[in-house]
Amino acid sequence: MRPDTLSEAAERIVKGEPAWKAIGEFLDAFYGSASPEERLAKIRDEPPLTGDDKLDAVIGAAAEYLAKLYRLPEVPGWVAGPKRVLSKPYFTTSSTSPGMREYLTFSSPAEFRWRNIFTEERPLRRARSEQALRAVVQN
């Protein structure tokens, strides 16, 4: 059964499911929601920590990003928790070129950037590229 909420997706990750798969399936449910209230319900409850600092920060960034992108009635308070912020920069590309790092530094949405996560301009695209989603949530 596919996760209906971000919390359910994190629970599946904790149980061993690949992060890109669980989060991708959650995004399908989120994007298919009929109303702002239904979307908010999918991110309202705090997901359990996965034990992977990068992934826990990405989950917080994703919830905040989606709440703001879809102009939901609120941004859940849990997204700003200290376990949802990285102490060291995390670039979601395997490229170590200075040019790529500079591009990601400036293109990253604020919801990711303030957590020290540097990714592409539209990190949660689902229909266009599963590979792009894998890059964001890969360890």
**pLDDT digit string (tens) for 63-80?**
999 999 999 999 999 999
Strand partners, 117: 90
Q: Does 110 fall in a domain?
A: yes
pLDDT at 85: 96
Contact 40, 73 (CB under 8 A): yes
Mean pLDDT of the chain: 90
pLDDT at 118: 94
Strand partners, 90: 117
Q: Does 52 fall in a domain?
A: yes
Range of the domain at 133: 6-137
pLDDT at 123: 86
CA distances 80 to 16, 29, 33, 67, 86, Å, are 25, 23, 24, 13, 12
Q: Does 66 fall in a domain?
A: yes
pLDDT at 137: 64
Report how many domains make up the chain: 1
In angstroms, how far apart are the furthest CA atoms of the chain? 42
82 sits in the region (left: phi over 0; alpha: psi -120 to 50; else beta) called alpha
The residue type at 121: E
Residues of the chain with pLDDT under 50: 128-129
Q: Does 1 fall in a domain?
A: no
Dihedral sign computed on CA atoms, order 106, 129, 91, 13: positive
pLDDT at 135: 57
